[in-house]
Structures are given as structure tokens and as C-alpha cells.
Amino acid sequence: MFYVILESTRSALISILAHGLRSFLTTLGIVIGVASVIAVISLTQGMSAFIGESFSSLGSNSLTIQSHTPISEAMRGGRARLTPEDLELIERRAEGVASITPILYASRSSQVRYAAQTTFSQIMGTTYAYRDVAQAWVQTGRFIAESDNLTRRRVTVIGKKVREDLGLPENPVNEYVELGGEWFKIIGLLEAKGDVMGFDQDDIVLVPYSTMRSLAGNQSQIDIQIQLSLSEGVEVDDVTRQLTALLRNAHDLAPDEDDDFRINTAEQLMETFDTIINMVTLVIGGIVSISLLVGGIGIMNIMLVSVTERTREIGICKAIGAKRHHILAQFLIEAMLLSLLGGLIGLGLGYGLGTAISSSIDSFPPASIPIWAIALALGFSGFVGVLFGILPAAKAANLDPIDALRYE
Amino acid sequence: MKPDGKMNIADENLIRLNGIAKHYEMGSTLVRALDGISVEIQRGDWVSFIGSSGSGKSTFLNILGCLDRPTRGEYFLNGVYVEELGPNQLAEIRNREIGFIFQSFNLLPRATALGNVMQPLVYRRIGYRRRREMAREALDRVGLGDRVDHLPNQLSGGQRQRVAIARGLVTQPSILLADEPTGNLDSRTSADIMQLFDQLHSEGQTLILVTHEEDVAGLGDRVIELLDGKIIRDRRAGEPLH
Ligand SMILES: Nc1ncnc2c1ncn2[C@@H]1O[C@H](COP(=O)(O)OP(=O)(O)OP(=O)(O)O)[C@@H](O)[C@H]1O
Ligand SMILES: [Mg+2]
């Protein structure tokens, strides 16, 4: 068996090379099919690997609680809120929480000014615990300390993007910026984190939570976000259940009322993105496999032509002793090699295409092909070759030697 | 004596034909290409079949070469009843017992002289190196040792015929069959080829030739004349024609 395969491969290669251009055109369908599959997969897989990384940089075991006004409540003109009391409650009662921090977003203008430069940024009031919860480390200077909150100091920690936009010096510590009409002293510069799904994580300005509250003035009805990280070994679902119960109780919700808050986990978000990406991969993969099928039919067509063309040759081989399986193997292997060759070229082309696309679009993650996609592409194109090679090969193998020899 | 010891003692005749007929139905007319041929051929003989065009020579040779099946009759080759064999067994016989030299050479156009001669050995599961060696030897024997890497279309007619003969010889067959081996060659080249056959015959090779040329046929031990699918004369060479 091995001997037959070896010899058939040898002669198949000779024949494929003898008709270089025709072989290439024949296999073009497969090339295009595989190239598009691989391009799509390499892009989506690169994306999902990247998303995975980004989310782990967000702090993979962190939870965010936000107020969420159910539609029924909104119709009645109500507005859900998360209050500092809720924060206290969770701090006191919830178990499995490693660190917890409130985040108060600036409600009005988020203009930041340094000398003559102004920019708009996300200003957040938070505490020293934010550092652990959000995995936000300072590159120079220091983070917001507990004392900053206690004394409502006008200090700020800024992201890299803000520093660049404002034209601040390389080390911006001890410079002053104007936030909402008040001057704040820069005490730290955050390490760059890049962006997640279009949100630049370096475009932030952090100030002490209590300072932020005092700036919000006598506006008593504030709505905060709570971000917390879980202790080692604690199940996200357990904590989520616990928090839900606590907050529902605190907000006096009847059993038939919807939650007036949302608990988001980084993992949840990641799973959602993964699902979407897998769907996209699947759908496009499905569409593209049709083109592989079309490519296979092209191969069958050319193989049939080739059998007819080589009828005499087949007759000669049979006359000097070729058995059915010799001829069958030769044409089958030729079809498979053609198809595999197309698969290989398509693989390279698809990867090149994916890389080109991902590098031509700014901030798009680099393309990557998983091994399973390579195996799938080659396996599938080989299979297509065998599937569509069977008919021509059987036709060749079943030729009667004398008829084949007489063929003009 | 064949080196692989495939001699069959049960039948002293290498070939025994009994009432072989081949009929073609062409619409309403029946063409009797062969019409009851009975003949026995011994090992080591050189037999020439002669006859005018359309007398059934090629049809007969194709049946002898196990390429075609007769409509009727019995064919024993080396004691084996050929009619009972399936396509793969026939292929095996063609490979082991028979070297076929065609009227029109029938070389593989994309293989070199060496490749063509190596091809029958592929079906014998002989490794590449050994095949090469054997093919080179065969080409040397027919005097083409210096043209092994040429494609058929780079060779002259006589050279192609030599390649075809080498391909027939390389498997060390029981019989060498040749259909009009000089049909496409000039008289000078024909003489060379016939000399080669003579040499093979003197080495003990059984030869069956088909020709329509009297002087070519006369080189063999035995001349059998066909007409309209029947044997009309069977004589030893040297016997007078009339
Ligand atoms: N496949 C076929 N179908 C119908 N008739 C055939 C077929 N093959 C051969 N014949 C007929 O059989 C007869 C013998 O043909 P064959 O080829 O054996 O002649 P031949 O003696 O070899 O002639 P030549 O010397 O011209 O080669 C011819 O009348 C031919 O028409
Ligand atoms: Mg003829």
C-alpha cells in the first residue's frame, strides 16, 4: 500500500508540474476558499486573543455594579441610583470581597486644561482601592492615598493619553491641571494600558472620591458606580447572588420588581464577545466552505478532462501491468495533491491577507492562526480533493485496456 | 529457462489456442476478425504471423497479449486457462508473462526513455533504485544506453522502437509479442531491429511477431499466414512458399 502511494505521488507530482498553469487555475477555487477562511479566522482569532488579554488587564475577577433604571420605572419618571449608603452596606456585609472602591463620574464638563492646552477626558472620583480593583499601576509618582480622600485633597492621577494631549512633561508629577474650574496637582502618571474595544484606558483622570463629591456640591442625589475585586477562590456567581440580595433588600424591591442595578463581570463581557466572534467565524466559515465545494467541482472537472486526455496513457499502463488500484490511486492522489496544494497556497495567502488587513487598520489586533484552523483547512481541502477525485479516478481505473489503447 | 522458475511442466506448449474467434457486431453486419484459430507455440520459438491488412493479425496479437478477450475459444498460457481470469489477474499476467511491442510504440509521452522502461516494474513493487538498474540494463541491451534521459519525442522512430523493446524485455517475460515492429521504420533501421530480435531469440526468448512483410516474417522459425481471420498456411521457415 505504501509503495503504491509513494509511486502514485511521484507520478502525480510529475503530471501536476507538467501542466503548471492548468494545475494552478484548477486549484484556484480551493486557493480562494481556503484563503478567505484563513483570513477571517486569523482576524477573529487575533481579535479574541486580544480581547482575552485586555480583559485580564481589566482585572479578570472584578465586578462592576451600576445603577440601571428598568423601563417600567423610567416610564414613571423614576431614576435608579446607587448611593454611598449602598457602598457602605456592601463594605460591611458582603463576603468574599478583596477590595472595593466607589467611582463617581464627573457629571458635567470633563474639560481638562494645562497652560493653554485643553482636552476632554473621563474624570473619575475614586479611592486608593481602585488601584487593586482595576489593576491600575502608577508609572511615576504615587497613587491616590487614603489620606487624600480623608482630607479631600485636590490631587490627581492621570493616564498617558491625557499627558500627551495636554503637552505635559515626561514626568508630569507636581504640575497643575484645571479640572472643572478647580486646580489639581498631579501626583502620579498611570502605566499605559492600551485600549479595549475602542475605549482608551489611558484617557482617564483620577481624583479622590471625596474631593469629587465635594465638587459635585450640594447635589445630594449622586449616582455612583461600585467596582470590587474578589478574594482568591471565591465564585463570581456566589458573590453576584449575595450582592443582588443585599441591594434588592436595601432598595426595597418587591419580588416582582426588576433589579434597579446591573452587576457586570469582566468575564461576562468577555464571554459575550467570544460568542459573537465565534458566531462570525462560523457563519463566514460556512459561506466560504461553499466556495471550497465549488473549487472541488472545478478539480473534478479538470480531472475528468485529464482522464480523457490520458486515456491512451492509461491504456499503455494497463497493457504493461497496471491494476485497477494503481490507476485509481494515481488519479485520486493527483486530485488530492492538487487540492492540498491549493489549500497550502490558500493558507499562506489567507494569513498574508489577515496580517495585511490587521496591520492596515489602526489599533486592530495582530492576526493569528490557531493550529486547528490549519489542520481544518488542509484536512478539508484534502477531503474535497478525494471526494471529487473519486469519480474521475474510478472512470480511469475502469477503462478497458484495449479500448483505452485504441482511443484517438 | 526463466530465472524465477515459473516454468510449467504440465503443458509443454507455452501457448495453446483452441478455436479462438473474435467477432465484432457493426450494426447488422458481423465482422469475423478472427474465425476459429487453433495453434500451439513452444517455448523458445520465433513465430511470425503474416497476412494482408485487415486479416486479423492485430486482433489476434491483442488476445495473445491478454489485452482483449476472444468471443469464443480457449486460450492456455503457460498452462493457465486465461478465460477464467479477472481484470487484475490479467494485468498480473501482462506484467509477468508478456512483453508487448506495439505497432505505434505506445510510449508514455511525459516519461523519459528510462522512465518508460522502469514503468512495468512499478507494478511489481520493485524499489526505485533497483528499477533504475534493471531499466538501464535493458536499454543497454537494445543499444540505447546513451539516450536514457530523452523523452520519446526527442527520439527517432528506431530509437523509440528500441525503448519499446527494452520495456518489453525488462520484466523478463515468457513471450515477447511485437505488432509490426518494423512497420513505421525505414529498411535500414528495420534491419537493425530485426537483428536485435535475432539476438534475443538466440538467447532463448520466445518471440511472436506480426508483420505483412514476407522477408521480415522469413527470419523466424515458423511462419503462419492469416486470411480473413483464419489460418491458411503454417510452415517452417525455409520451406518453399508454393
Ligand atoms: N474494435 C473493432 N470494432 C469493429 N471491427 C474491428 C475492430 N477491431 C478490428 N476490427 C475489424 O477486424 C478486422 C481485423 O482487424 P485487425 O486490426 O486485426 O487487422 P490487421 O491484420 O492487424 O490489419 P493491419 O495489417 O492493417 O494492421 C478488420 O476487418 C477490422 O475492421
Ligand atoms: Mg494491425
Q: What is the pLDDT of residue B3?
A: 43
The rounded distance, in Å, linking the Cα atoms of B19 and B34 is 9
Answer yes or no: do B92 and A321 touch at CB < 8 A. yes
For the CA atoms of A308, A309, A315, A318, the dihedral, rounded to the nearest 10 degrees, stands at -80
Tens of pLDDT, residues A123-182? 899 999 888 888 888 999 999 999 998 999 999 999 998 999 898 898 999 999 998 888
* Residue B241 domain-assigned (yes or no): no
* Start-to-end C-alpha separation, chain B: 36
Tens of pLDDT, residues A284-297? 778 777 877 888 88
Using pLDDT thresholds of 50, 70 and 90, give the confidence band for residue B4: very low
* Ligand 1 atom with least separation from CA of B22: 12
* Contacts B68 to A, Cβ<8 Å: 402
Domain boundaries, chain A: 2-55+271-406, 62-265
Q: What is the pLDDT of residue B93?
A: 93
* Residue B141 lies in domain: 13-236
Answer yes or no: do A313 and B107 touch at CB < 8 A. no
* Contacts B171 to A, Cβ<8 Å: 321
Best residue for ligand 1 mutational test, from B22, B32, B50, B58 (most atoms within 8 Å of Cβ): B58
Residues A139, A140, A146, A152, CA torsion sign: negative
Nearest to A16 by CA among A1, A26, A30: A26
Name which residue leads in pLDDT, A357 or A219. A357
Answer yes or no: do B95 and A321 touch at CB < 8 A. yes
CA-atom Rg of chain B in angstroms? 18
Partner-chain residue, chosen from B62, B96, B107, that has the shortest CB–CB distance to A402: B62
* Residue B242 domain-assigned (yes or no): no
**Contact status of A9 with chain B (Cβ, < 8 Å):** no
Tens of pLDDT, residues B134-184? 999 999 988 888 989 999 999 988 899 899 999 999 999 989 999 988 887
Which whole-number Å values give the CA distances from B235 to A12, B36, B64, B238, B241, in the listed order? 49, 18, 20, 9, 9
Ligand 1, atom 31, lies closest to the CA of B54
DSSP B42: E
* Residue B107 domain-assigned (yes or no): yes
Grid cell for residue A227: 467596582
**Contact status of A406 with chain B (Cβ, < 8 Å):** no
Could you give the number of structural domains in chain B? Answer: 1
Query: What share of chain A has pLDDT > 90, as a percent?
Result: 18
- Chain B nearest-CA distance from A303, in A, is 17
Ligand number nearest to the C-alpha of B230: 1
CATH number of the structural domain spanning residue B220: 3.40.50.300
Tens of pLDDT, residues B8-21? 444 568 899 999 99
* Residue B144 domain-assigned (yes or no): yes
All residues at 6 or more sequence positions from A201 whose CB lies less than 8 Å from its CB, including other chains: A159, A193, A194, A195
Partner-chain residue, chosen from A14, A318, A324, that has the shortest CB–CB distance to B110: A14
The rounded distance, in Å, linking the Cα atoms of B180 and B191 is 13
The rounded distance, in Å, linking the Cα atoms of B152 and B218 is 30
Measuring from each residue's beta carbon to the nearest atom of ligand 1, which residues come in under 6 Å? B 24, 26, 31, 33, 51, 53-59, 212
* Residue B125 domain-assigned (yes or no): yes
B79's enclosing H/E stretch is none
B125 to chain A: closest CA residue? A3
Partner-chain residue, chosen from B102, B106, B123, that has the shortest CB–CB distance to A322: B123
Ligand number nearest to the C-alpha of B23: 1
Partner-chain residue, chosen from B95, B96, B108, that has the shortest CB–CB distance to A316: B108
Using pLDDT thresholds of 50, 70 and 90, give the confidence band for residue A199: low
Tens of pLDDT, residues B104-130? 889 998 889 999 999 999 998 888 899
Grid cell for residue A136: 491600575
**Contact status of A405 with chain B (Cβ, < 8 Å):** yes
CA-atom Rg of chain A in angstroms? 33
CA of B31 to the centre of ligand 1 (A): 9
